[in-house]
Amino acid sequence: MTSRRTFLSQIGLSAAGLLWAERILADAFHPSGTTTEPFRPIRIRGRVSSNGRGIGGVAVSDGLTVVRSDRDGTFFLVSSSLRRFVHLSLPSGYAIPLNPPGTARFYQPVPAGNGDEKTVSFSLERLEYADDEHAFLLMADPQTQDADDVSLLHREAVPDIRETASGLFPRHVFGVACGDIMYDRLDLFPEYERAVKAIGIPCFQVPGNHDVEVEALTDATSFETFMRYFGPTYYSFNRGEVHYVVLDDIFWFGGYIGYIDQAQLDWLKADLSCVEPGKTVVVLVHIPTFNLQFLRHGSERLSLDVIVTNRELLYRLLESYRAYIVCGHMHESEYFVDGGAEIHISGAVCGAWWTGPICHDGTPKGYSIYEVKGNSLSWRYKSLGKPVEHQMRLYPPGSDDAHPDELIANVWSADDAWSVIWFEDGEKRGAMRRGIGRDPLAVELYKGEDRPKKRSWVEPLYTDHLFYAFPGPGAREIVVEATDRWGRLYKEKLIL
């Protein structure tokens, strides 16, 4: 998400973009502006194996059809000459294959040539110990645009992420770059690859709206460079008892809206048919399926570039599962339930586009740590350069003109299951009141036409993870205790 608004405004689509979006949504299964290329059917045969022994029951797909390997590991797939890749839903218990820089290699290009028979095989390495307990690091919006951004990524983010990953050992750990890996500068993808190599864990990639070919006029051609580096834009994999799905929810037409096309929905239905109902499914997308920013800003509706317009179709496919939808795009933190799924919107690695230490809602620049045991997830946000226990920032009365007499705590990961209480001079005063406001540091850094200097269009956002209380006139020391849904306690102290 950025301020680039040639076709999209901050609160909605421009007239031209709205016309396109309405034409697309009027017939979601056959959107206007698309063309049908000629194709021929091709037959793809192959085998999934480990140390020469076939692996049965592995889901194999060309992005349209999903088949499962036979007991001897062989598979047969009737595909199309238009399909670019054959990919596995990587099975649990096997190592994630890697490209040379460390990005995940779960796919093979369909061999070139005019023949109608193709062969594609996969060789996997069995893990030394089970991956029922594992972890992943969710890195939303690295979004580098120039040499300065790249330098900050390597200097600030890479060492921090590498240290966190090392600290999670001996669990199996992987990373997810949750879209907007670039800020339109696709020639900088090698710098992201260099970061992955330095971090030292396998990384999966989610396509974002700034990872597209900005000159492309159709969705079908919008991710050519992304696919050259990272393979398919939608796919699935398994770790332990959890099934992970990456989806491309960027519908590009010279502008973009959040939308999951019918081909992906059909593929996802087939993919999930291989997953036992009741299992945990984590869906990774860039644009949130939904968010509540419009309510905080007093708008009547959300812009179509910050939600997935046909999200109900996705929710319907996920009804039989314990579903999480993990997103980026917004450069702010938000956690809530919609359509039966838990929605997690993560703060950005780049913060407010590498202009300061925080996102425009006050969330520090950073990433999310997810720890998995069996089919259960726990998570917390990790601020760059801070210990993981750093989960809030306190402000004394007078920090916000809208709340001049109140203490403010920004608890960026808070959801309805958290409790936030405060103490005045050692005496417990009770729960703080949750409300909507703007983080005072974000206002200081980003409010005004000339701030921040590098990207002056950044403005502080209204957020609902602020907590308020009225200290007494003689108060000297304030302590705030925040407890998350797993009972982990975080404390901060403020001397008045």
Q: In this predicted model, what pLDDT tens digit does every residue of 278-299 receive, in sequence order?
A: 999 999 999 999 999 999 998 8
Q: Are residues 232 and 87 in the same domain?
A: no
**Which tens digit of pLDDT belongs to each residue from 378-430?**
999 999 999 999 999 999 999 999 999 999 999 999 999 999 999 999 999 99
In terms of residue numbers, what domain contains 293? 15-30+129-383
Residue written as token pair 């820089």: 101
Q: For residue 337, what are the β-bridge partners?
A: 342
Give the CATH number for residue 175. 3.60.21.10
Residue 4 lies in a domain: no
Q: Are residues 158 and 187 in the same domain?
A: yes
For position 112, what pLDDT does the model report?
A: 86
Considering the domain boundaries, does residue 36 fall inside one? no
Q: What is the mean pLDDT of the chain?
A: 92
Looking at residue 300, its pLDDT comes to 81
Residue scoring higher pLDDT (73 or 14):
73
Within a domain: 195: yes
Residues 267 and 401 in one domain: no
Domain-located, residue 10? no
- pTM to 2 decimal places: 0.92
| pLDDT confidence of residue 11 | 31
The reply to whether 7 falls in a domain is: no
Residue 336 burial (CB < 10 Å; 0-12/13-18/19+)? middle
Kindly tell me if the per-residue pLDDT of 193 is higher than 90.
yes
Q: CA-CA distance, 340 to 325, in Å (whole number)?
A: 10
CATH number where 414 lies: 2.60.40
Report the number of distinct structural domains present in the chain. Answer: 3
Q: Which of 138, 41, 140, 134 is nearest to 90 (CA)?
A: 134
In terms of domains, do 319 and 182 share one? yes
Pick from 383, 407, 439: which residue ends a domain? 383
In a domain, 332, yes or no: yes
* 228 and 348 fall within a common domain: yes
The tokens for 23 are 């034409």
Distance from C-alpha of 425 to C-alpha of 474, rounded to nearest angstrom: 9
Clarify whether residues 350 and 438 are in a common domain. no
Final residue in a domain of this structure, among 365, 383, 401: 383
What pLDDT sits at residue 362? 98
Q: Check if the beta carbon of residue 368 is closer than 8 Å to that of residue 166.
A: no
Same domain, 259 and 349: yes
Do 377 and 283 share a structural domain?
yes
Is residue 35 one of the residues assigned to a domain?
no
Residues 149-162, mean pLDDT to the nearest whole number = 98
Please indicate, yes or no, if residue 1 is contained in any of the structural domains: no
